[in-house]
Each structure stands twice: as C-alpha cells, then as structure tokens.
Amino acid sequence: MSLSREAYRALEDIVGPENISEEPAILDGYCFVWANEAMFDDRFSARPLAVVLPESIEQVQGIVRVCNRFNIQFRAHSSGWSCPALSSKESFLSIDMRRMDRIVAIDAKNKYAVVESYVSMQKLFLQTMKVGLRPHTIGCGPSGGILASATSNFGCGNTSASSDFGGRVPLGVEWVLPDGEILRLGTLGTGSGWFSGDGPGPSLRGIMRGYGGATGGLGVITRAAVKLTPWYGPPALKASGKPNIYDIEIPENFQINVAAFPDRDQLTDFFVLVVEEAIAFALHRSPAASLAILSTSSGDDFWQMVSASPPEVAEAMKFIGVLMMDAGSPREMQYRYDLLQKIMERTEAMNFPMGPDMMGPVFRNLVTGQGQQRVFNITTGFLTAAVNEESWDSVKLLGQRVAEELYAKYEAEGKIAITGENPWFAPLGDSFAHTESVVSYDQFDPESIKAVREILAEADIKLPQWHLAVGGAEGCLSFDEASEKAAAPYCLDFLGYEKKIKKAFDPNLVSESSFYVKP
Amino acid sequence: MALKDFEKDMMRDSRCSYCKVIPHVMMTDTRFIDVCPSVARFNFHGFSAGGRMVAGLSLLRNRIEYTDGFLDMIFQCQMDGACDVSCKIDRDLEPLQVMQELRIKCIEDGQLIAGHMPVLEGLRKEDNMLQRKKADRGKWADGLDIKELAGGKAEVLFHAGCRYSFDEELWPTVKTGINILKEAGVDAAIMGKDEACCGGRAYEMGYEAELIKYADHNIQAWKTAGVKTIVTPCSCCYQTFKVLYDKIGKKPEIEIYHFTEYLDKLIKEGTLKLKKKVPIKVTYHDPCHLGRLSEPWIHWSGKEIKVAGQMIVHDPAKKYRRGAEGVYDIPRDILKAIPGLNLVEMYRIREYAWCCGSGGGVKEAYPEFALWTAAERLKEAKDVGADALVSACGWCKRNFTDAVKETGKKIEVYDIVDLVQEAL
Ligand code: SF4
C-alpha cells in the first residue's frame, strides 16, 4: 500500500520535503517496537504509508485535512515506545511529533506546565526541578511523552500516589479533532488561559481520554497544560562515577524504605495507611527481583546476584512495598518518619536494609523512572498480561491469581520465565490503584510467544470473571476488542458509548483506531 | 563478526529512544539534552541508533533494498558512540557494533558513498586520508631536529597521523609536540614519509579490509624499527591502535599513548613544568575517539543459556563497554595545571560528549552536516562563557575551525598542546 502521488504532494507541501518520508528503511523504524511479536506474527507490524514530521498545530491540522480528503488513516505518536503508538495490522500515515518538542510555559505559581506533544517526562522534569516542581512520572521511563501519558494513555508510574495518574493531570488542551477542526478544552476554550481542564469552557476530558486513553484513535493533541507537584529535591540531580551504575547523592529530605510483610493482607493495609496519611513521594509493590535488576549493571550480573541469594531471602521478600518519602523541612520528615514507624508496627512490617549500592539506583528509578527497561536484558520480551485499575484488593489478589491460574502451567512447561507472583502495584492519587502483572518470554522462541498469546487471550476472559479487571495488553484495551467483549457482560455498555463517540468525532473514520475502538 | 551475528541485538531493541538523549541524572540543561547529532539534525527515527538497529534487521530479512535514501540514513552519522553509551545505561545491547557491521555490509555489497570514493582511492594509492602525496607526509617536520626513521631503530615513535601530517594549519601543534618531547629529554623519532594511515577512519566508513591491511603494515613496521612506545596527538589513531587493532585480533605488543597521556606523565613526574600564566577561559571538548571510544576492547566468546524457564544469560558472563574507561580526566588535569587558565565545563561531557562532527566519514561525504554538528558544539561552548574551545584531536580542531569560519562565532579553537606550549 502506498499514498497516491497527489496525497503525497499535498502532505509534502505542508511539512516540506525534508519532513516526509516513504523510504522503506525509515518506515520500518515506525512499525517495530517491543512486544509487537506477541500481538502480530512478527517483530514488525504493518509498514506505515509514510511518516511526516509536523512542527506546528497548523501543520498538524493541514495533515489531518489531507487525510480526510484522501481517506488516509493516520495516527500520531510522541516517543513511539509502545504498540499503541506505532503498530497496526493495516498501514497508516504515521505522524511523528518529534519536531513539536517545546515546553511552552512553566507557571510555577499555579503549578502547571504547557507542553507540546513530544516533550518527554525527562525534559519537562529537568526544567521544572529548577523551580521546585515535578510532573507525574510515566511507568515506561523518562523518554515517554508527558502529553501522551496525560491525554492519550492511561499514564501511571512510581509517583502516582503523590503526583496522580494521567487522567487527572491535563488542564487546558489543544486538540486537532479527527476531522481537522481545532478544539480547545477547559479554560483554553474561553480564552482564559491553561489553568483548568474543566472550564469555564468545554470539559470533554472524559471523551478526549476517558479512563485509559484513546491511544491515538481520536485525532491529535498538539499542546496541553499538565499539573505539577512540589519537588523538594535540588534543582539538578547529582550523579558521579561511571556508567551504567552511577553514584547518586540522595538529598537529605528524601528517605527510601523497603518493607517486607508477612502476608498479602498486611501489605494491602500498609498501602492503604500510607496513602491515607499522604506521606509518599513514591509507593509501589514490585517483585524483590526488581531491586536487583535496578542495582546490577547487566542481565548476567542480575542473575548472579539472584541465583546466589538463599531461598529464604526470596521467601521473606515475597510481599514487599517500596516507599520513598519527601519533605519540605526536617520537621516534616520527622513527622512522616514517625507516622511510618507506627504504620509499619501495625502492619508487622520488617525493614529491608539496603546499602548505598542499591539505594542510589532505587532512588534514581523512583525519581526519574529510569531502570525499568533493564528487565529486557534477561527476558528479552515482556508484556503486561493483566492490568487492574481501581481495586485496592487487587494488590493481593491479582498477582496471586494470575500467577496461579494463568502463569503456573506455562512456567511448568518452561514456556515463559519463572517469575511467580510478580505484580507491580501503585496507588493512584488518594483513592484507587493500578496493578499489572507481567509475563516474560523469549522473543526468539515461537513456543514462548505462543504461550504469551494464549495467556493474553485467557486473561481477557478470566479477569472480568474474577471481577478484577478488564483485560488487555499494556494497559490498553486489547487489539480486536476481545477484552472489551469479554468484559461487556460485567460492565455498563462502555463499548457502545466509545463507538458512538468515535463516530461523532471522526465522521470519515480516518483516525487510526486499532488500540481504541472499532467504529 | 558480521551483521548476522548481531541479529539478536537488533531483535531485542525496544525502541525506547534512550539513544537520542543524555540520561536524566547526567544532564542539567534541556537545551543540550541531545546526544546524537544524526537524529537531532534529521529527526526521523531511522537516523538514531535504534532506527539503524531496525534497518539492519530489515536488511537481513530482505524487507528493504539498497537505495540512496537508505545509504544516507546509514552514513549520515559520525559513529561517535554516544548513542551506545546512552542505550547501555539500561540495555545490554551493542548498537554501535550493529552500525559498524551495517556499514561493512553495505561496502561488501558494493554500496559505496560517492563522497568517500576519492578518499578511499587516495588512501589506497598514497596511504593517507587527505588525498595528498605520500612523499610529502613528513614535510611538517622539516627543519625540526628530530630523528626520522628510515630503516633505523627507535624506542619511542611519534605518530602524527594523516590529519596533522597534511593539514598545514595544524603543523604548529605537532611541531610543538616534538619540541616538548625533546625538551623533556625523550628520544623520539618519526617515520616521516614512511608513516602510514592507521586505517581507523576508513574502517568507520565501512572498509574493514583497510583496517586489517594497515594494522598488519604498521605493526610490522613498528616491530622492524624496535618501537616500544607510540605517542600520537591524533585521537583517531590512538583509538585505532589501542582498541580497533585489538578488536580485530591484532593487538600490538607496544605501549600506546595519546599525547595528552604522555604530557600528563611528564608533568606529574616533574619533567615538564608549566610556569607561565595563560589567562584564558576555556572549555574542553572530549574527542569521541579519546573519550568513550578509547575504552579498551572486551573480548568475549561463549553462549547464551536459558535459566528459570525463559530468562537468557551468558556463559561465561558477558561484560560490556559502556564508555566508562575512556581518557577523560587526563586532559582536564593538564588544563588545570596551566597557571591562570580557567576551565569551565560544557553540559555534554565525558562519555556523553557531543561529537565535533567530523567522524565516520561525515566530513568527507556530508560536509554541511559536519559543520552543523560543530556549530552546535560552539553554541554550547559559548553558552558556558568560554572564550576558547580546546580539544585533543586534529580532526576536531579542523572541523571546529571550519565551523568558526562558517558561522562567524567569536571563539578561539585550540589543541591542548598549543596551550601547554604557551605555559612552558
Ligand atoms: S538502540 Fe538502545 S536506546 Fe536506542 S531505541 Fe534501541 S534499545 Fe532503545
């Protein structure tokens, strides 16, 4: 499939010849991303028709209008680090937002920043640190697009307990609708600035992103204001030493605690109490192995550390919570510390002592999100097979049931990595939570990939039956609506509403929608 | 090794784009966050290490064919290795090696870059990268009181390299180098017209046979002359002798020094005394080949094994070159030892240094891109308030000097040797 020459010229006229490409080698960089092989038959999904690099909202609008005129499917992305950004069974026009990389404004007084589509979490954070603020973190890591996570994906990370998750982050939004009209949401819609997403002015956040994000299926967000949270650390992080384990100075007003619990109930209580008392900068449950991954320099070093560790250690660390507290003053830190001691006592927590070798990398990860993708070094492929939002109980139930009822069989057959119960859990704001359970596999092993596909399909069916989640890989509803259909009997007819929204906003059905909803 | 041998690395690329920027903990200013000139200039993902990993896989799988656009995408890159360091902050992958093997494959398949051809022809005929007569190679040393080996013997050999040998504007630097060695009582010699190219820059352009040829030739010549120590002011030659010859299994049994290392030794021994004040505010540019690319080669042979079901580890465990062991402190120590000199650092330094723009055959085939890259560095140097940019490689100095002329930026460009001379 290719663009007609007329359509190509129309796009070229908008972005200029340097910023459009049909070169196959370049296009292949836009249909290759981790986990593709688990959803498609290959590391590559369908090659895009072309790639364009707009640099302004006018250019984006022009591109979208051309797509409507020539009936071309399009999808925009920022970093492009996920299947919903790049992948599809059918070719479409890929809009790479890389040239829209400006931090438009940081309003320190009102605690928000206005960013263009490509601005990464790292880039924004580096700037906001200088004025004592921070954006919400993105689980995938520092190169993830801050706007994408706020407006188009679920958007959560280590600090979601304090900085909230993507859905609560966007304020004023500038949105090129699928038909090429420009819609400005919140206060921006009445010319009152960027400070509110809910007006005076149109409040369509629920439609624009809903809960999980439309993942590119509803036009292109070109600019958005995102809320910021206080940062009590220094204006820049201080790292020294050698790559890839740098020594990092942990600021005095930050404190990391890793606590091990006797059982799932105590672990859950710990999370509830910490969130109630609002003492967390970052809070999550993760497998103990993740601490080893962060603090070793390679997959081989990780394995040496883990395999040398006595089984009792692994058992004692089956249920752990990682908490980092920050404070604006020593007195506040003391207050938080005292509270934490009481919570730990009540939940029978045991403090897991960490040396500086582990502390630095864990701090770096909690603050910047960097380090997560080291998991690829030992498993080569991994994918979130089960995601749950909302339920606090999922902290104890989801990981366990997924491990026992979905993974165990395949682990016994050696088809996936033996990780056991390995949920990553993080509270979101003050009242609900996100849990995901990853499956690790070998990208080169067809049997391993087949097992992952079976697990995904089973998860789609079983999670709603367990009343634990709507399934779907990578926190988006799964490709081909399998998970939505399986969940439909247990939920309101959300699929029907999504289809109506899609039709109303995208009359020509050109905004590529594989990871959102089928029209 | 061949491209095929890196298929798993290419498959395992996650497309995280870490290779495009400097990691958060090592960066303070978002204006200088880019680490890869190629993707910073051309923007499409294909111009990053990650994009080239994908392209390598596509080529192996016959998904793509050779086109001019593809070749430009592969060769509009300085092979500076910054992407490799940024990728390896979290990954155990070898993007730079993939890019090297991709170039080698292109050349083996007859896909030649027009801008490289005259250089390669010159190299094959005259043993240098500047398309000049071999017979003129030693001219830079005319009038110097220096032993020129002509079948004779010497323990310490000063290897000027192609750039310093033929670029008249750079001759003062090498002449100074020789004078410093003489003043320090080092009995050094040069090879003069018999000196040959190291082969490193041709290798970066994808010409592996040239690297092998010059490794064999040079090692034999050094052996015959009884050379025990080589001192070179050229960072590219230094990296080639120290790292690339080892990589291809031809590690010379000779001590290899970059001139800064030798200077540092002389200063720290007290043989060389820096007495005169040089009141200037400078910033130091880490040459890629002296910095991250000069990290010693790590040989590994073994196999992948599966543990815990589908986890993959290496037997024996594999170690990675992550840019940690380059020469970073020595040039800074020298500059700090110069009385009156004020050294200020740029944002992108050491293993994350921004390239000068001239490497990987870019200066030869894509001169505008080379100058654009250098101009970005000049901006950074000006931003930290430096009056001068100091480097330790002739290729860097040449490209920065050209960019100063081109952009009209008010900044001096020095080789570190020039400043040492002023302080003596
Ligand atoms: S080369 Fe490394 S850093 Fe770049 S996209 Fe691939 S995995 Fe990520």
pLDDT the model gives residue B91: 97
A 1-30 residues inside an 8 A Cβ radius of B: 18-19, 21, 23-26, 28-30
Torsions phi, psi for A482 (to 5 deg): -60, -45
pLDDT the model gives residue A479: 63
Across the interface, whether the CB atoms of B29 and A244 are under 8 A apart is answered: no
Q: Kindly identify which residue of chain B lies nearest to residue A98, measuring between CA atoms.
A: B43
Cα B86 to ligand 1 centroid, rounded to whole Å: 8
Could you tell me what percent of chain A has a pLDDT over 70?
96
Q: Where are the alpha helices (DSSP H) in A171-260?
A: 205-208
**How far is the first Cα of chain A from the last one, in angstroms, to the nearest whole number?**
22
Cα B52 to ligand 1 centroid, rounded to whole Å: 10
Q: What does the pLDDT look like over B9-48, one tens digit per residue?
A: 999 999 999 999 999 999 989 999 999 999 999 999 999 9
Is there a single domain that holds both residue A226 and residue A110?
Answer: yes
Asked if the model's pLDDT at residue A477 lies above 60, the reply is no
Is there a single domain that holds both residue A356 and residue A258?
Answer: yes
Tokens of A196: 């509110």
- Rounded to the nearest 10°, the torsion over CA A313, A319, A324, A325 is -120
The residue-averaged pLDDT of B383-391 equals 98
Residue whose CA is closest, atom 7 of ligand 1? B13
Picking from A388, A451, A391, the residue whose alpha carbon sits closest to that of residue A423 is A388
Beta bridge partners of A256: A324
Cα B18 to ligand 1 centroid, rounded to whole Å: 6
pLDDT the model gives residue A300: 97
Element (H, E) at A365: helix A356-368
Contacts of B24 in chain A (CB under 8 A): 122, 125-126, 142, 237, 368, 370
CB-based contact, A374 to chain B, within 8 Å: yes
The residue-averaged pLDDT of B248-275 equals 96
Q: What does the pLDDT look like over B75-128, one tens digit per residue?
A: 999 999 999 999 999 999 999 999 999 999 999 999 999 999 999 999 999 999
Average pLDDT of chain A, as a whole number: 91
Residue A436 forms part of a structural domain: yes
Beta bridge partners of A459: none
Is there a single domain that holds both residue A89 and residue A118?
Answer: no
pLDDT the model gives residue A389: 63
Residue A388's contacts (CB-CB under 8 Å, 6 or more residues apart) are A394, A398, A433, A434, A435, A436, A463, A468, A469
The two beta strands, B303-307 and B412-415, are unpaired
Tokens of B280: 């200037």
CB-based contact, A143 to chain B, within 8 Å: yes
Q: A95: helix, coil or strand?
A: strand
The C-alpha angle with vertex B411 and arms to B409 and B412, in degrees rounded to 5, equals 135
Query: pLDDT grade, residue A478 (50/70/90)?
Result: low
Across the interface, whether the CB atoms of B50 and A368 are under 8 A apart is answered: no
The closest CB to that of B24, out of A18, A237, A301, belongs to A237
Is there a single domain that holds both residue A388 and residue A416?
Answer: yes
Cα A505 to ligand 1 centroid, rounded to whole Å: 36
Is there a single domain that holds both residue A15 and residue A35?
Answer: yes
Contacts of A120 in chain B (CB under 8 A): 21
Residue B86 CA, closest ligand 1 atom number: 3
Cα B13 to ligand 1 centroid, rounded to whole Å: 6
The residue-averaged pLDDT of B312-339 equals 97
Q: Length of chain B, please?
A: 424
Instruction: List the CATH code of the domain at B116-269.
Output: 1.20.1050
CA–CA gap between residue A310 and residue A315 (Å, rounded):
9
Element (H, E) at A495: helix A494-505
Q: Which residue has the higher pLDDT, B370 or A154?
A: B370
Full 3-state SS string of B37-70: HHHHHHCCHHHCHHHHHHHHHHHHCCCCCCCHHH
Asked if the model's pLDDT at residue A56 lies above 80, the reply is yes
CA–CA gap between residue A159 and residue A138 (Å, rounded):
9
Asked if the model's pLDDT at residue A84 lies above 60, the reply is yes
Is there a single domain that holds both residue A306 and residue A351?
Answer: yes
Question: Strand order of the sheet with strand A170-176?
Answer: A103-107, A112-116, A220-227, A170-176, A182-185
Query: How distant is the Cα of B315 from the closest Cα of chain A, in angstroms?
Result: 9
> What residues line ligand 1, using a CB cutoff of 6 Å?
B 13-19, 49-50, 53, 87, 91, 93, 95
Q: What does the pLDDT look like over A342-362, one tens digit per residue?
A: 999 999 999 988 888 899 999
DSSP state at residue A175: E
Cα A317 to ligand 1 centroid, rounded to whole Å: 32
CA–CA gap between residue A285 and residue A317 (Å, rounded):
11
Evaluate whether B203 touches B293 at the Cβ level (below 8 Å): no
The C-alpha angle with vertex B122 and arms to B116 and B123, in degrees rounded to 5, equals 85
pLDDT the model gives residue A355: 86
CATH 1.20.1050 positions along chain B are 116-269
The closest CB to that of A32, out of B15, B312, B325, belongs to B15
Across the interface, whether the CB atoms of B26 and A53 are under 8 A apart is answered: no
Residue whose CA is closest, atom 2 of ligand 1? B87
The residue-averaged pLDDT of B263-278 equals 95
Asked if the model's pLDDT at residue B308 lies above 80, the reply is yes
Q: For position A308, which CATH number holds? A: 3.30.70.3450
Peptide bond into B316 cis (omega under 30): yes
**In chain A, how many domains are there?**
5
Is there a single domain that holds both residue A248 and residue A359?
Answer: yes
CA–CA gap between residue A511 and residue A345 (Å, rounded):
53
- Helix B49-60 vs helix B68-75: crossing angle, to nearest 10: 140
Q: Which residue has the higher pLDDT, B63 or A422?
A: B63
pLDDT the model gives residue A483: 77
Domain's final residue, options A96, A123, A145: A96
ipTM over 0.90: yes
Average pLDDT of chain B, as a whole number: 97
Domain's final residue, options A230, A255, A280: A230
Asked if the model's pLDDT at residue A420 lies above 90, the reply is no
Domain's final residue, options A363, A398, A433: A363
Q: Which residue has the higher pLDDT, A431 or B348?
A: B348
Q: For position A179, which CATH number holds? A: 3.30.465.10
Across the interface, whether the CB atoms of A379 and B311 are under 8 A apart is answered: yes
Evaluate whether A105 touches A228 at the Cβ level (below 8 Å): no
Q: Length of chain A, please?
A: 519
User: Which of B25, B105, B307 has the highest number of chain A CBs within 10 A, making it the mutation to test binding with A?
Assistant: B25
Q: B377: helix, coil or strand?
A: helix
Is there a single domain that holds both residue A114 and residue A222?
Answer: yes
For B71, what's the count of Cα atoms within 13 Å in the CB-facing half-sphere?
Answer: 20
The residue-averaged pLDDT of A62-88 equals 96
Residue A174 forms part of a structural domain: yes
String of DSSP letters for B247-301? HTT---SSEEEEHHHHHHHHHHHTSS---S----EEEE---TTTTGGGSPP----
Residue with tokens 């060769």: B75
Query: How distant is the Cα of A380 from the closest Cα of chain B, in angstroms?
Result: 6
Q: What does the pLDDT look like over A297-312, one tens digit per residue?
A: 999 999 999 999 998 8
Tokens of B220: 């034999």
Evaluate whether B124 touches B199 at the Cβ level (below 8 Å): no
Query: How distant is the Cα of A494 from the closest Cα of chain B, in angstroms?
Result: 32
Host domain of residue A416: 379-477
Cα A28 to ligand 1 centroid, rounded to whole Å: 15
- Helix B329-337 vs helix B259-269: crossing angle, to nearest 10: 50
Tokens of A506: 């995208």
The two beta strands, A133-134 and A229-230, are antiparallel
Residue A99's contacts (CB-CB under 8 Å, 6 or more residues apart) are A19, A53, A54, A55, A118, B43
Q: What does the pLDDT look like over B209-260, one tens digit per residue?
A: 999 999 999 999 999 999 999 999 999 999 999 999 999 999 999 999 999 9
Element (H, E) at A162: helix A160-163
Query: How distant is the Cα of B197 from the closest Cα of chain A, in angstroms?
Result: 32
Query: How distant is the Cα of B206 from the closest Cα of chain A, in angstroms?
Result: 19
pLDDT the model gives residue B225: 95
The residue-averaged pLDDT of A98-114 equals 98
Hey, how many other C-beta atoms are within 10 angstroms of the C-beta on A104? 14
- Helix A264-277 vs helix A330-346: crossing angle, to nearest 10: 150
Element (H, E) at A459: helix A446-465
Is there a single domain that holds both residue A324 and residue A401?
Answer: no
Asked if the model's pLDDT at residue A469 lies above 80, the reply is no
Torsions phi, psi for A416 (to 5 deg): -130, 165
Is there a single domain that holds both residue A397 and residue A472?
Answer: yes
The residue-averaged pLDDT of A4-30 equals 98
Q: What does the pLDDT look like over B71-85, one tens digit per residue?
A: 999 999 999 999 999
The C-alpha angle with vertex B217 and arms to B211 and B223, in degrees rounded to 5, equals 130
Is there a single domain that holds both residue A79 and residue A114?
Answer: no
Residue A236 forms part of a structural domain: no
Query: pLDDT grade, residue A507 (50/70/90)?
Result: very high
Tokens of B315: 């037997």
Torsions phi, psi for B151 (to 5 deg): 85, -5
pLDDT the model gives residue A519: 82
A 195-254 residues inside an 8 A Cβ radius of B: 236-237, 239, 242-244, 246, 248
Residue A330 forms part of a structural domain: yes
Peptide bond into A110 cis (omega under 30): no
Could you tell me what percent of chain B has a pLDDT over 70?
100
